[in-house]
Structure 1
Amino acid sequence: MRSAYGESLVNLGTKYSNIVCVGGDTTDSLKTKKFGEKFPERLFNVGIAEANLVSIAAGLAIAGKISFASTYAAFIPGRCLDQIRNAICYPNLNVKIVVSHAGLSVGPDGASHQQIEDISIMRSLPNMRVLVPADAPSVKKLLEKIVQIPGPFYVRLARPSTEELYPEETDFEIGKGKVVTDGKDLSIFACGTMVSASQKASDTLKKEHGISCRVVDMYSIKPIDADLIYKCTKETGSLISVEEHNIVGGLGSAISEVTSDICPTFVRKIGIADKFGESARDEEIDSLLHKYGLSPKEIVRNALELKKREKK
């Protein structure tokens, strides 16, 4: 996903001469260095000063630029919420915040660098829209969309390489979700790295338990696809949400806000259970995700429990 971001930024920069990028000593990791090599006068590396980073991006937006602001999710929004709220969202400026290293899967840096509250934080801000793509093709397509839509966006990327779920030509709409696997007994809504995990869980549920599970990539968390949530509730009954994020305020909470208003049903939230993460080497990431309930095996277990609950 990071490589897709870097490539897309170069391509978009070629098409739109008013695109600029502001980074914070993570241009190698975020792959925005490629943009700087192509357009050195349009990349601004401000160092480890995230409050300045987003404020400078806001100033460039006032000057008519499409500003991309990028670093690790632990630092944006982790170290500059005040500036995002008051300098970007309140005046509704054209700043696209694209971050990486979100969730638990950041490697050995531990809880201080595992941003698991950002979806909740960012979707609570007026004017901010929140996207969590699942693979490289969706990153590219969503970036093409957001440069054409004025105003702030928050795009959340993960550190690890991810399985490609979509052909390059697949289209994505802001405010919509996408059914990646159809089913009739249960719907799983996932975002980011958890879409592929949910697909694997759906395969197991079908093969080993005879449960036909619909998997929805809910890459647009704000605005969210209320029509699709309603449709799935009516057609498949109970819902499961899966996210590499705290269960408080994230995708599951956003779905529950919809169901409580228009289509009451059970919503089983699978995520990080309101606790901090812990460190793990790259080769231990799968074990860490399993420990925190985010492996395909844990999704299967939760789905079986939910189906039992439906029968009571």
Structure 2
Amino acid sequence: MSEVKKIATRESYGNALVALGEKHDNVVVLDADLAAATKTGTFKKAFPDRHIDCGIAECNMVGIAAGMATTGKVPFVSTFAMFAAGRAFEQVRNSVGYPHLNVKIGATHAGISVGEDGATHQCNEDIALMRSIPGMVIVNPSDDIEAKAAVEAAYEHVGPVYLRFGRLAAPVINSNPDYKFELGKGVTLREGKDLTIIATGLCVSASLEAAEKLAAEGIDAKVINIHTIKPLDEELVVAAAKETGKVVTVEEHSIIGGLGSAVAECLGEKAPTPMLRIGVKDVFGESGPAVKLLEKYGLDAQGIYESIKAFA
């Protein structure tokens, strides 16, 4: 069996920006002294006149992007998730969200898989923060193919978009020729009748692995990839809940305010269903190798399998 190709979605982001820049002259990229890490350096090399390094001043960078958006430019603001959603929250809310400007936020290094950078840089709260901003679209792609499609879709969408990317290389799982990306639409990756696993981002591939382990135990799990957390594909979520009777959400984010909360809110109103939320509990992360951290916090395939088996 051949080795599964792995690419970090931050790499995909940098490559997608170049492709976008080649097609659209109004694309501009702003970075906060992290072009090498966020991979916007590839765009800077291709289009130096359309790349602005704002220095370590993320709040100011968002303000600059807001101003550029009023002139017809489509700015992609790029920095770590901790700084994009955390440090610059007020500016994103008031300067981008409130006037509903056409600014795209490329947030890299999200979640505990940032690894050795530790708790201060492991943003497990960004989806919760961005969900609270009216009109903000939130996309958390699962692999290279989906990340590139998400960047293109973000450009086509008129209004603010938060794009979440990771540092750790992720397996490419969407290489099938009939794959289609659409904002607000989930993707069913595996059919099943006993329960539904709804996963996002880095955890999608691990959830597929966990489903195979569960199958060996006689538990038939449906797996859904929710790349767009806001707006949530409520129709797909409700249908799956009614079909299988149990729902599990899996995310590399706090279980408070992220995918798990979005799904619980939806089902609580439209189809009350027994539910398990797998993610980072009400704790901060810690410094360590990314893969080991995912194992410790139960976000690898084995951990997901064990949690679901106990729930099922």
TM range (shorter): over 0.9
Q: Which residue of 1 aligns with 2:110?
A: 102
Is contact 2:207-2:301 (8 Å) kept? yes
1:176 aligns with 2:185: yes
Deviation digits for residues 267-297 of structure 1 (CA, Å, limit 9, x no counterpart): 100011111000003xxx2222122121222
Deviation digits for residues 50-109 of structure 1 (CA, Å, limit 9, x no counterpart): 001111111110111011000111111111111000000000000000111100011211
Q: Which residue of 2 aligns with 1:37?
A: 45
Q: Which residue of 2 aligns with 1:198?
A: 207
The 1:71/1:3 distance shift into structure 2, 3 A limit, reads: same
Is contact 2:80-2:109 (8 Å) kept? yes
TM-score, reference length from structure 2:
0.95
1:229 aligns with 2:233: no
Q: Which residue of 1 aligns with 2:310?
A: 305
- Out of 14, 21, 29, the position equivalent to 2:22 is 14
Deviation digits for residues 188-214 of structure 1 (CA, Å, limit 9, x no counterpart): 01111100110110000001x111111
Is contact 1:103-1:116 (8 Å) kept? yes
TM-superposed CA distance for 1:168, in Å, is: 7.0
Whole-angstrom CA distance in 2 between matches of 1:167 and 1:295: 22
Deviation digits for residues 236-277 of structure 1 (CA, Å, limit 9, x no counterpart): 111000111111101000001110111100110001111100
The aligned length equals 303
Q: Which residue of 1 aligns with 2:158?
A: 150
Q: Which residue of 2 aligns with 1:293?
A: 298
Unaligned 5+ residue runs, structure 1?
308-312
Matches of residues 183-262 of structure 1 in structure 2 within 5 Å? 183-207=192-216, 209-262=217-270
Is contact 1:137-1:168 (8 Å) kept? no
Q: Which residue of 2 aligns with 1:63?
A: 71
The 1:274/1:8 distance shift into structure 2, 3 A limit, reads: same
Unaligned 5+ residue runs, structure 2?
1-8
Is contact 2:31-2:79 (8 Å) kept? yes
Structure showing greater relative contact order (alpha-carbon pairs closer than 8 Å, 6 or more residues apart): 2
Q: Which residue of 2 aligns with 1:138?
A: 146
Is contact 2:112-2:123 (8 Å) kept? yes
Whole-angstrom CA distance in 1 between matches of 2:157 and 2:127: 20
Is contact 2:138-2:162 (8 Å) kept? yes
TM-superposed CA distance for 1:139, in Å, is: 0.7
1:160 aligns with 2:168: yes
Whole-angstrom CA distance in 2 between matches of 1:140 and 1:286: 24
Deviation digits for residues 149-187 of structure 1 (CA, Å, limit 9, x no counterpart): 110000101101110001275211111110111111110
After superposition, the CA RMSD in angstroms is 1.0
TM-superposed CA distance for 1:304, in Å, is: 1.9
Moved over 4 A (4+): none
TM-score, reference length from structure 1:
0.95
